[in-house]
Amino acid sequence: MKRRVGPGRSRPLAEAGFVLPSAIFLLVILAALAAFLVTVSTTQSTTSTLDVQGARAHHAARAGLEWGLYQVMVPALPACAASTTLPAPIEGFTVIVNCTAYGPYTEGGQAVSLYRLESTARSPGALPGALGFVERQVSASVSR
């Protein structure tokens, strides 16, 4: 049994509809590729956002460390508080500065105290392990 397809051509009826399964297969492959690309794009966007947040947290921690160093180095101020949460967030991060004093030691006939400062900046609202949680810690040692 033959049917006419176009002017002057014919093909068997058994071959009719062969394009439909190929088109469905092609659509499934394209849909899978699109889903994969959306997943990769979303992951890249999230990673990029966390990278920027990490840099902001690092700078907030550095600012807290500089604040702590100022507190230690200015002679008119008390030397070192054990732990201080800065009253205002920096770049939206909570900053905690810990200070540990060692000494005084005598060096060259002068009393010298050593101080170890650690500054930690944490993203607000997120718990450790949660998506969007960022924390950076920097430290320094100084003598006075």
CB half-sphere exposure, 131, CA atoms < 13 A:
4
Q: What pLDDT sits at residue 22?
A: 87
- In sequence order, what E strands does the chain have? 2-4, 10-12, 83-85, 94-107, 110-122, 135-143
Question: pLDDT above 90 covers what percent of the chain?
Answer: 40
Question: pLDDT above 70 covers what percent of the chain?
Answer: 85
Determine if the pTM surpasses 0.75: no
Every domain of the chain and the residues it spans: 14-143
Tell me: pLDDT of 75 over 80: no
Tell me: pLDDT of 1 over 60: no
More confident residue, 88 or 55: 55
